[in-house]
Structure 1
């Protein structure tokens, strides 16, 4: 029988491999379903009809498939599983979450750089070592897989679920709705649809990089998450009362939103 440490490492590698399979399969499903949603009504082309019922069924089915694939990729890799499997150290987890958040910002900034170019041309208005850590087993005790129903008896399960749900809600609102807000409510120029989100992502990127260089404890995670939450409350209040005649203040609010997003996302995941 192999030594306990070797067995634990093998178990983690095995689980990590399963995560990669889920992530790969989820990514493939997302690629197929996403292109089907935005590439036209595929069932309409297959059955040779363009009725509203067929379009509704077609888009609904592929949207549902997309959400299944997205959940598989998201849960297995993008947020919780791989980070927690790689390391138990709070500082290392923040570093990994910060790296992921930073590269997400880079990807989104690239998108908004392209959008800015399109809107502008349009005529319309210290290095930290990350170690793989293994849990220490108590001699004589056998590892047992916890039942899935076990978590529903834990208060912490619901605390984490609510915390993560609200964090994602906040960041998704800033990503999806601000472009409509600056155009429809603040009456800003078309380029602002790219500039405002770009400022948010740049600030999030900078904060994510800074967070990597800090040493983390549970209390510090809570303090920084709370700071991000307070920043977002003030930013949201500013958005609520901001008149269109003072729309330039939105650029300042974009800075605070970007900082708040990074503080909340990185610390919530860590």
Structure 2
């Protein structure tokens, strides 16, 4: 049992308060998810940070946040929107610095439409990457300076290699890969993408973060682990071959399912 990977969790501060004892029992990695909306980012978020730090007294697991993503992509064509993306990324890194967080999740810009259409345009793929650099270069530099990783999470991605190419194009150790198991399973079941374990295999040791959620291959369910139909043996089998020690973050629509998720993976002999 002690050799099994330890599951962390994605929680808001109120949910952290509920599950604090569970998070401390094995010093589980934590991703705080309070800082995605513009209302929080443009308001006074410091009391939320202070409450989180108080709850994390004695916590030695790795700490990250889910970065801003609502209402935009990191590859905007519109120059005005690009400035908003830069602002949101800067705000997210402000919070990372205040928390001492070492990782921020950023959403992939690749859509289902992109997969089928970028190749029809001259330099379509190169232009997509260029747009991301225009929006993200400042954030990448700052992440390097404060010791924070930006991990790019698959959303609609059909090709698991597209955002790997994007991440590597920055030439920075501060830009790595995240996988969301439910997003990958949705893409596999509904848009013809490879199975979930293939996303892990493609990322290899570039993988530093995983959102673990169960699903049915039709939609983005965020069910308790064990309640859907993801082949967890194949996913954890692929993860076991990595040396990068990605954070295994259970991300549920209802955080009340966190203890059951851990218990179900323990029962399968896959995690603790």
TM-score (norm 1): 0.23
Q: Which has the larger Rg?
A: 1
When the two structures are superposed, what TM-score results if normalisation uses the length of structure 2? 0.23
**Which of the two has greater strand per residue?**
2
